[in-house]
């Protein structure tokens, strides 16, 4: 049950200056800050992204370096009981309404089923989804469903074996495809597929991916590549934009805006119909083909949706990040381990979210401005 109202009380702002100078401690939010995970711009975070690990068994070029990263020690990473408590504080005290487990690769965590089961027991109605690369999912999909996972997102950037291997630096395409099918069979649908397109590598795969996803009734979502790769190789000129993606798909399909409300979702959804003779190829003409399904495009770089952002992030080592591009992060796990009460932990989380930046500054103007600095953490170390 949510007990969001009046809980906990904002701290006196007198300590703000001191806190601001302590690394990992956010300044206190003002006493007029509303309940829940509110920020200065009137947004309220209700969607929690929780990273279970920084480790991964793939090395996607847009995310990790070939040799991997220096992994966190086991002690540094939240254990199952700590995760369970942090989720409980988010849901029971702070108005979190949905949870996404991510990483690194969440499937590499040996106690994953215990974690999902414990969260489900505490929160029978909470939508719990997981983003995974799908390697090993075939063996765990049914158990994850039984433990209480609601739904799954699997990342897949190409159906072409050589391209997949080049992009992920691992020859695991078939294992991913088997994993996706197993998730569907286990009832973890709707299965969403996340794809990042890279110029000259897999941009020619866009239509194939959509044709395949439609044939399987999976919901494909293209994600614009963000400057969050550990190699710092991202360039604007190489990025495949949302506009490029719409153009690539319109060679074969007609896309029209999905009439359903977007409702804070990062993906803009389009209905997909087959291109029929007489249409022009720009995707704006009225489509006469049969409705085949939908496709989503997450245009984080070129069409940012910061004004409507509802996300709060907890990294694998229990740091609060209000945005993927935060250069500030605040320690929740250290406070928890020091014996803090639920109220104190909730207060720290609220303070950290109160100063969430208005926007990530990654849009065209921001990126070209001299003050845009790529965050130190790569996507795998944040939890995408
Ligand atoms: N390992 C899991 C996976 O790949 O699905 C979960 C973690 S991964 C960091 C989460 C999502 O972030 C994936 O869908 C991945 O494609 C996406 N991602 C990683 N690096 C990215 C980048 N630089 N730009 C856009 N999306 C990225
Ligand atoms: Fe691993 Fe996911 Fe990053 Fe790929 S995108 S390297 S699968 S964490």
**12 CA to middle of ligand 1, Å?**
39
Report the 10 Å Cβ neighbour count for 114.
15
- Name the pLDDT band for 2 (thresholds 50, 70, 90): very low
Rg (CA), the chain: 21
Ligand 1 within 6 A of CB of 194: yes
The predicted structure's pLDDT at residue 18: 44
45: alpha, beta or left? (left if phi > 0; alpha if psi -120 to 50): beta
Q: Is the CB of 46 under 6 A from ligand 1?
A: no
Interval 168-192 mean pLDDT: 97
Beta carbon of 58 within 6 Å of any ligand 2 atom: yes
CB atoms within 10 A of CB 146: 14
Contact 206, 222 (CB under 8 A): yes
Q: Please, what is the average pLDDT of the chain? A: 89
52, 65, 69, 155: residue to mutate for ligand 1 pocket, most atoms within 8 A of CB? 155
Q: Which atom of ligand 1 is nearest to the CA of 51?
A: 7
Q: What is the predicted pLDDT for the residue at 98?
A: 98
In terms of Cβ atoms closer than 10 Å to its own Cβ (0-12, 13-18, 19+), residue 73 is exposed
How confident is the model over 5-16, as pLDDT tens digits? 334 444 444 444
Q: Is the pLDDT of residue 316 over 80?
A: yes
Question: Which range, of 65-79, 83-97, 142-156, averages the lowest pLDDT?
Answer: 65-79
Q: Looking at residue 165, what is its pLDDT?
A: 97
* Residues of the chain above pLDDT 90, percent: 71
pLDDT-based confidence at residue 363 (cuts at 50, 70, 90): low
Average pLDDT over residues 179-208: 96
The pLDDT of residue 175 = 98
Is the pLDDT confidence value at 81 over 50?
yes
- Residues 335, 336, 341, 345, CA torsion sign: positive
Q: Which atom of ligand 1 is nearest to the CA of 226?
A: 24
Task: Say if CB 114 and CB 141 are below 8 A apart.
Answer: no
pLDDT (tens digit per residue) in 17-47: 445 568 889 999 999 999 999 999 999 999 9
Task: Dump pLDDT digits (tens) for 213-238.
Answer: 999 999 999 999 998 888 788 888 88
Q: Above pLDDT 70, what percent of the chain?
A: 88
Instruction: For residues 337 and 359, give the distance between their C-alpha atoms in angstroms, rounded to a whole number.
Output: 32
- If one looks up domain 37-64+78-382 in CATH, what number appears? 3.20.20.70
Name the packing angle between helices 173-185 and 161-168 (round to 10°).
100
pLDDT class for 294, splitting at 50, 70, 90?
very high
pLDDT for 260 beyond 60: yes
Question: Is the separation of the CB atoms in 95 and 4 below 8 Å?
Answer: yes
Taking residue 68's Cβ as centre, other Cβ atoms within 10 Å add up to 15
- Looking at residue 128, what is its pLDDT? 98
Q: How confident is the model at residue 346 (pLDDT cuts 50, 70, 90)?
A: very high
User: What mean pLDDT comes out for the span 46-75?
Assistant: 94
pLDDT value, residue 369: 47
On the question of pLDDT at 264 being above 50, the answer is yes
Question: In which band, very low, low, confident or very high, does the pLDDT at 178 lie, cut at 50, 70 and 90?
Answer: very high
Residue to probe by mutation, ligand 1, list 63, 183, 296, most atoms within 8 Å of CB: 63
Q: Which residue among 64, 168, 202, 378 is best mutated to probe the pocket of ligand 2, counting the most ligand atoms within 8 A of its Cβ?
A: 64
pLDDT above 50 (res 83): yes
Lowest mean pLDDT among 96-105, 227-236, 335-344: 227-236
Any ligand 2 atom below 6 A from CB of 157: no
Ligand 2: distance of its center to the CA of 335 in Å?
Answer: 29
Q: Identify the pLDDT of residue 12.
A: 43
Q: Is the CB of 52 under 6 A from ligand 2?
A: no
135 versus 23: which is more confidently predicted? 135
């Amino acid at each position: 049950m949510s007990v969001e109202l009046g809980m906990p009380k904002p701290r006196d702002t007198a300590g703000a200056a001191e806190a601001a100078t302590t690394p990992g401690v956010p300044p206190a939010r003002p006493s007029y800050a509303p309940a829940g995970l509110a920020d200065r711009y009137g947004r309220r975070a209700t969607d929690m992204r929780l990273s279970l690990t920084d480790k991964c068994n793939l090395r996607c070029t847009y995310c990790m370096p070939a040799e991997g990263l220096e992994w966190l020690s086991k002690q540094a990473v939240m254990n199952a009981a700590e995760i369970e408590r942090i989720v409980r504080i988010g849901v029971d005290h702070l108005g979190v309404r949905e949870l996404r487990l991510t990483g690194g690769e969440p499937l590499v965590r040996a106690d994953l089923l215990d974690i999902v089961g414990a969260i489900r027991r505490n929160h029978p109605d909470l939508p719990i989804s997981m983003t995974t690369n799908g390697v090993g999912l075939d063996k765990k999909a049914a158990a994850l469903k039984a433990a209480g996972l609601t739904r799954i997102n699997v990342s897949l950037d190409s159906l072409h074996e050589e391209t997949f291997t080049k992009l992920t630096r691992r020859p695991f395409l078939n294992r991913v495809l088997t994993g996706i099918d197993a998730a569907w069979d286990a009832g973890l649908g709707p299965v969403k597929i996340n794809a990042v397109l890279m110029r000259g590598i897999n941009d020619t795969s866009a239509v194939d991916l959509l044709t395949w996803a439609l044939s399987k009734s999976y919901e494909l979502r293209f994600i614009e590549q963000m400057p969050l790769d550990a190699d710092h190789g991202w360039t604007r000129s190489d990025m495949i934009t949302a506009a490029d993606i719409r153009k690539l798909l319109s060679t074969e399909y007609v896309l029209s805006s999905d009439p359903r409300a977007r409702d804070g979702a990062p993906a803009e959804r389009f209905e997909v119909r087959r291109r029929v003779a007489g249409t022009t190829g720009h995707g704006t003409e009225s489509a006469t083909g049969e409705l085949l399904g939908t496709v989503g495009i997450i245009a984080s770089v070129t069409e940012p949706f910061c004004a409507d952002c509802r996300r709060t992030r907890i990294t694998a080592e229990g740091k609060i990040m209000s945005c993927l591009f935060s250069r500030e992060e605040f320690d929740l796990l250290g406070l928890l381990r020091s014996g803090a009460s639920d109220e104190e932990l909730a207060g720290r989380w609220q303070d950290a979210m109160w100063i969430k930046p208005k926007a990530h500054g990654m849009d065209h103007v921001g990126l070209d401005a001299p003050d845009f600095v790529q965050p130190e953490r790569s996507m795998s170390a944040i939890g995408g």
